């Protein structure tokens, strides 16, 4: 699992403990998803390319690094990925946002794409795909397939989730070994309905109060 980054920062883990509580209300769930995403976003942007620039300060010249290279896009997988957009935008406010509408069929568990809208220059951008849950990995892989079909190089894609499990990580790593996965938790596995255990339930329903 070489591409997996489990973010074990105490603040992230503390907030995850709060998030997992089945009695947490919709507003608090949404707020915590945003807060945790800021920490995950901090890690996922850690290796952005930089260049040294010279700045005039009131006291003289300073050499300082600034981000350079490819522009960024955030790609939430709907619905639940929407809950992570504000947290990412807090860190990279100028990033474009492209939406991938997808739901997992309850019978077959196969993802179904129902919407796809990206910035027109998506093939020239580094893309951060966000979705709170990496379960079987089917949705993440199909979302990435759609980006690759539009010309995005898998080398320029990162995947960020709150909860993952060995099955989803393995599937995504096998399909796209070059893609880094960032997660706040690697859980035990999937139950018979392919929900993550212990997980946090259906992330979309918990975010939007559609339980
Ligand atoms: O790894 P997988 O097995 O594909 O499962 C994970 C997917 O399932 C959930 O979405 P869901 O289908 O519930 O849609 P929703 O966000 O609209 O609730 C979740 O947000 C992921 O997109
Ligand atoms: O545990 C899971 C699995 C898929 N989708 C979710 O929202 N939760
Ligand atoms: Mg759902």
- Residue whose Cα lies nearest atom 8 of ligand 2: it is 202
Please, where are the H alpha helices in the chain? 10-20, 26-44, 85-91, 138-149, 166-175, 203-208
- Three-state DSSP state, 95: coil
Q: Is 153 annotated as a binding residue?
A: no
Give the pLDDT confidence score for residue 211 in this predicted structure.
Answer: 83
Classify residue 193 by burial, with Cβ atoms within 10 Å: 0-12, 13-18, 19+.
exposed
Reply yes or no on whether 68 is catalytic: no
Give the pLDDT confidence score for residue 2 in this predicted structure.
Answer: 60
Q: Domains along the chain?
A: 4-208 (3.40.50.2020)
Q: Following DSSP, what letter does each residue of 152-184 receive, concatenated?
A: --GGGEEEEEEEE-HHHHHHHHHH-TT-EEEEE
**118 φ, ψ to 5°?**
-120, 160
Give the pLDDT confidence score for residue 106 in this predicted structure.
Answer: 85
Q: CA 66 to CA 51: how far, in whole Å? A: 6
Q: CA 146 to CA 149: how far, in whole Å? A: 5
Q: Is 189 annotated as a binding residue?
A: no
Q: One digit per residue, pLDDT tens: the chain, 211 residues?
A: 469 999 999 999 999 999 999 999 999 999 999 999 999 999 999 999 999 999 999 999 999 999 987 799 999 999 999 999 999 999 999 999 999 999 999 889 899 999 999 999 999 999 999 999 999 999 999 999 999 999 999 999 999 999 999 999 999 999 999 999 999 999 999 999 999 999 999 999 999 999 8
Q: CA 89 to CA 97: how far, in whole Å? A: 9
Q: Is 199 in the pocket of ligand 2 (CB under 6 A)?
A: yes
Give the pLDDT confidence score for residue 1 in this predicted structure.
Answer: 46
Reply yes or no on whether 20 is catalytic: no
Reply yes or no on whether 104 is catalytic: yes
Residues 6+ apart with CB under 8 A from 61: 54, 55
Give the pLDDT confidence score for residue 137 in this predicted structure.
Answer: 98
Give the pLDDT confidence score for residue 100 in this predicted structure.
Answer: 98
DSSP letter for 122, please: G
């Amino acid at each position: 699992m070489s591409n997996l980054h489990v973010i074990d920062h105490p603040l992230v883990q503390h907030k995850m403990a709060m998030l997992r509580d089945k009695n947490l209300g919709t507003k608090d769930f949404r707020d915590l998803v945003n807060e945790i995403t800021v920490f995950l976003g901090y890690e996922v942007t850690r290796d952005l390319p930089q260049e040294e620039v010279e700045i005039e300060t009131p006291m003289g010249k300073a050499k300082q690094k600034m981000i350079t290279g490819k522009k960024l896009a955030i790609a939430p997988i709907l619905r639940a990925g929407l809950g992570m957009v504000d947290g990412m935008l807090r860190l990279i406010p100028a990033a474009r946002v492209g939406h991938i509408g997808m739901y997992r069929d309850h019978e077959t568990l196969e993802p179904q794409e129902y919407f796809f809208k990206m910035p027109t220059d998506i093939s020239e951008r580094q893309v951060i795909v966000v979705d709170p849950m990496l379960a079987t990995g089917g949705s993440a892989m199909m979302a990435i397939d759609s980006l690759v079909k539009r010309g995005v190089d898998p080398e320029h894609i990162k995947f960020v989730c709150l909860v993952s499990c060995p099955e989803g990580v393995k599937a995504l790593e096998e399909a796209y070994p070059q893609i880094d996965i960032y997660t706040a938790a690697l859980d035990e596995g999937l139950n018979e309905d392919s929900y993550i255990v212990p997980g946090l339930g259906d992330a979309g329903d918990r975010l939007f109060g559609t339980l």
